[in-house]
Amino acid sequence: MRWANDDGEPIVARRKQSRPPVRGYGLTAWGRAFVAVVESGADHRHLTGARHYFREHHVEGLAIAPGQITAAVRGSQLDPFEVILRPRTVDPATVVELLRAGGNVDALLALARGEQPGALGELVAPTESADVASSCTCPDQAPRCIHVLATAFEVAAQIDKQPTTLLRVMGTDLPDLLALAEDRSAHRSPSNGRDSAGGRHSAGGRSDLDGRADPDGRASLDGRADLDGRVSLDGRAESRPPSPAEPGELAETFYADRARLPAPPTVPRTDALTDLDAGVLRQALRASGAGATQLAEALDDLAELYAALRDLR
């Protein structure tokens, strides 16, 4: 092995220059979810150019505010193009309520640990292209130009690094969600003899809305009750309507005086959400422009209605 060249100078081994790592985006579930809705419908040419812009750091001044993302992207002209993304924001209170209804409030704690819980992502992450509106000052007439796509890739990379970025993108943040979850927990648990509505318990175990109870313990909107414990909206007593007649009994209503009512028909118990294909309903709701949170809330409301109908039978 030679240690010197022909001139007697020592031979210095040259180290191979390592290539810088290739930048990536959409490496996590939440990052992929955001990218998927933005790049849907974009052609191969725009996607290829946007990936090149992303890897070459053409996106500058990325600013993520609740419900709005701005950036300047260097393109083919001297001046950079201005890009604005406007995601359809979510309602924090609704998100917390849906998490509580599904028993997934712990997802907020998982997010605080740096995880990306699926239960929370389903309520927050955008699900269709209409959930993220975009605009750019470039002359390209495509729905998603190269500069918009490159900006979306930068946002996805930030979501990969810090999952809470998705909350800020969609108009909320983790401290607000945690505060709402804590407030609702305290609101529902009795404390110091008060109920969840803020009123004091009455002698009969019931409470009113302004902290006053009526003599027989029934609720009153303004502290006054009628003779049989019922109250109208303005505090004046109203008469109790006749109770419905049992099957085969005489009815005493104006429309069926002294008439015998037939027994109600027997209807089999059913639940359209479980007995039928709910995917068609979800597809129709998405086509109407409803966001992920609105879709989940509507399905939960329908499930509660069907459950109430089954209980009545």
Query: Cβ-count burial of 151 within 10 angstroms (0-12 exposed, 13-18 middle, 19+ buried)?
Result: buried
* Cβ–Cβ < 8 Å for 294, 287: no
Cα separation, 241 vs 196, whole angstroms? 30
At 70, the pLDDT band (50, 70, 90 cuts) reads: very high
Q: How far apart are CA 222 and CA 39, in angstroms?
A: 56
21 bridge partner residues: none
Most confident of 25-29, 191-195, 250-254: 25-29
pLDDT at 172: 92
Lateral strand order in the sheet of 59-65: 59-65, 68-73, 81-87, 132-136
Which pLDDT score is estimated for 293?
A: 75
In the 8-state DSSP scheme, what is residue 182?
Answer: H
Mean pLDDT on 257-264: 70
pLDDT surpassing 50 at residue 33: yes
pLDDT of residue 268: 72
Distance CA(86)–CA(129), nearest Å, equals 11
Residues in the chain: 313
Among 198, 175, 201, 200, smallest CA distance to 187 is for: 198
Q: Per DSSP, what are the bridge partners of residue 98? A: none
Say which residue, 222 or 187, is predicted with more confidence: 187
- The mean pLDDT of 31-48, rounded to a whole number, is 92
Helix, strand, or coil here: 300?
helix
Q: Name residue 100's beta-bridge partners.
A: none
Report DSSP state, residue 280: H
pLDDT tens figures, 84-96: 999 999 999 999 9
More confident residue, 300 or 223: 300
Q: Where are the alpha helices (DSSP H) in the chain?
A: 29-39, 44-55, 92-101, 106-112, 118-124, 146-161, 164-169, 174-188, 272-275, 278-287, 292-312
Nearest to 118 by CA among 131, 99, 91, 132: 99
What mean pLDDT comes out for the span 33-50?
A: 92
C-alpha span between 140 and 144 (Å, rounded): 9
- pLDDT tops 70 at residue 203: no
What's the CA gap between 69 and 63, in Å, rounded?
6
The whole-number average pLDDT for the span 239-252 is 51
Cβ-contact 263, 248 below 8 angstroms? yes
**CA-based nearest residue to 98, from 181, 197, 175, 176:** 181
Rg of the chain in Å (alpha carbons): 31
Q: Is the pLDDT of residue 156 over 70?
A: yes
For the entire predicted model, the pTM comes to 0.55
What stretch of H or E contains 72?
Answer: strand 68-73
Q: Which residues contact 74 (CB under 8 A, 6 or more apart)?
A: 53, 58, 60, 80
More confident residue, 138 or 301: 138
pLDDT value, residue 281: 78
pLDDT at residue 287, as a whole number:
73
Average pLDDT of 73-82? 90
Predicted confidence at residue 65, as pLDDT, reads: 94
